[in-house]
Amino acid sequence: MATQTASTPQSVAVIGGGINGLCSAWQLALRGARVTLYERGELMRETSCSSSKMLHGGVRYLENFEIRLVYEALHERAWWLRHCPQLCHEMRVIMPVYKGGPRPKWMLQIGLKLYDLLAGKQNLTPHQWLDRDQLLTRDPDLKPDRLQGGFCYSDGLMDDYKLGMWVAGQAREAGVEIIERAAVQTIGTDGLVTLEHDSRRFDAIANVAGPWSEQLLKRSGISSKMHLDLIRGSHILFDGEPSQPYLLQSEKDGRVFFVLPYHGKTLVGTTEQRQAIDEEIRASDEEIDYLLYQYNRYFNVRRTREHIIATSAGLRPLIKSAANPRKVSREYVLESQGRLLTVYGGKWTTARALGIKVADRLMD
Ligand SMILES: Cc1cc2nc3c(=O)[nH]c(=O)nc-3n(C[C@H](O)[C@H](O)[C@H](O)COP(=O)(O)OP(=O)(O)OC[C@H]3O[C@@H](n4cnc5c(N)ncnc54)[C@H](O)[C@@H]3O)c2cc1C
């Protein structure tokens, strides 16, 4: 436990029971803070359970030169895999390469080499090249026209909901008081948290309400230099697992999307669709059509709407930084105002590292 100085907060309110709020509360409690976490609904029921289920560095973020983020995420990937093997595991992902595809083989090769290097000693199985015959033997359903071969590389696959609830258990064990169905109405830079029928003053507040953190600030009359870009991502689910996990590229716009095995099903996603905070968060018809179209471009056995057994959608809380949703930074930023710390952004994989930074900022 850290030694506390006169200015170290004793009591901290954390707003938001997604993975970033839970990790922040957990890390604050480990530093000796008395933490109360407020969640307006139930824990882990918003963005954090609608992810692509990947504990990953994000190989595609290298294209946007997000080296710091990828480095951190690769090391955090290793942490989750090491500490929670019951809820996540390494998976070998196949990235097929087609003649005339959006990215040439040499470019993908450099990216994967850098991905392995950035993971350093924490790396999983390094990437390798598989030729066309090897790929088609592994998966006869893969379309063969113009197929050159493919890369095989490693990332982690998790049960996002259960892993988040494991973190909630760690947080409770460290002493965090978790209050669900407690919607925070306003927060103050003086440490005041107002709920519907109650208000309490804390030494510090961490606003980790994900896509809703900016809305909460606005409702509280607090202005900020940072702004969120809310980009919805949707998935569709088919019965039965694919023969292997895939990272595939859309020919039209160069986007990548995943086809992953998940609890005996096939998870296909995701999309990038800007929306406002007060719009419903659900997969639109256009997104479903897009995912079906992209899937059918790669596989012989055709899927239609009749094969979809479920859809899911979540809202990425990204920092406003680019016009093209694909180029918007996946980095996160912490902003301090008096006794209030607001988190903007934050991937699932890096939630623990983000929580440590929240604790560093509030407890040092
Ligand atoms: C489609 C999609 C796929 C993704 N895939 C991956 C992936 O594979 N790997 C990865 O690392 N990352 C992935 N991400 C990113 C990652 O899922 C998110 O960045 C992360 O889950 C955000 O977590 P959060 O805790 O900040 O937000 P949330 O999980 O949304 O949590 C915020 C919580 O705050 C609560 N809240 C809001 N307002 C209030 C209030 N006033 N009072 C009390 N509580 C409040 C909400 O109810 C919610 O529970 C993906 C994101 C999306 C959308």
Cβ atoms of 266 and 242 within 8 Å: the answer is: yes
Average pLDDT over residues 8-37: 96
Q: Are 19 and 141 members of one domain?
A: no
Q: Which pLDDT score, from 0 to 100, does residue 6 have?
A: 52
Instruction: Say which CATH number the domain at 259 has.
Output: 3.30.9.10
What is the percent of the chain where pLDDT is above 70?
A: 98
What's the domain range around 166? 11-47+162-227+329-363
Mutate to test the pocket of ligand 1, among 37, 52, 177, 344 (most ligand atoms within 8 A of CB): 52
In tens, the pLDDT along 292-350 reads: 999 999 999 999 999 999 999 999 999 987 788 878 888 999 999 999 999 999 999 99
User: Cα dist. 165→222, 231, 339 in Å?
Assistant: 31, 25, 28
Cβ atoms of 90 and 154 within 8 Å: the answer is: yes
Nearest residue to 93 via CA among 135, 142, 153 = 153
- Determine if the peptide bond prior to 36 is cis (ω within 30°): no
Q: Are 353 and 245 members of one domain?
A: no
pLDDT at residue 3 above 90?
no
Average pLDDT over residues 35-50: 98
Average pLDDT over residues 263-280: 96
Q: Are 249 and 347 members of one domain?
A: no
Q: Are 168 and 220 members of one domain?
A: yes
Provide the number of structural domains found in the chain.
2
Q: Are 273 and 261 members of one domain?
A: yes
Q: How far is the CA of 320 from the centre of ligand 1 (A)?
A: 16
Average pLDDT over residues 122-139: 96
The pLDDT-based confidence of 196 (bands split at 50, 70, 90) is very high
Q: Are 170 and 120 members of one domain?
A: no
What is the Cα 16 distance to its own chain's centre? 15
Cβ atoms of 156 and 76 within 8 Å: the answer is: no
pLDDT at residue 198 above 70?
yes
Mutate to test the pocket of ligand 1, among 61, 208, 348, 352 (most ligand atoms within 8 A of CB): 348
- Cβ partners under 8 Å of residue 275, min gap 6: 230, 231, 232, 281, 315
Q: Is the CB of 16 within 6 Å of ligand 1?
A: yes
Q: Is the CB of 352 within 6 Å of ligand 1?
A: no
- Cβ partners under 8 Å of residue 39, min gap 6: 16, 17, 21, 178, 179, 180, 181, 182
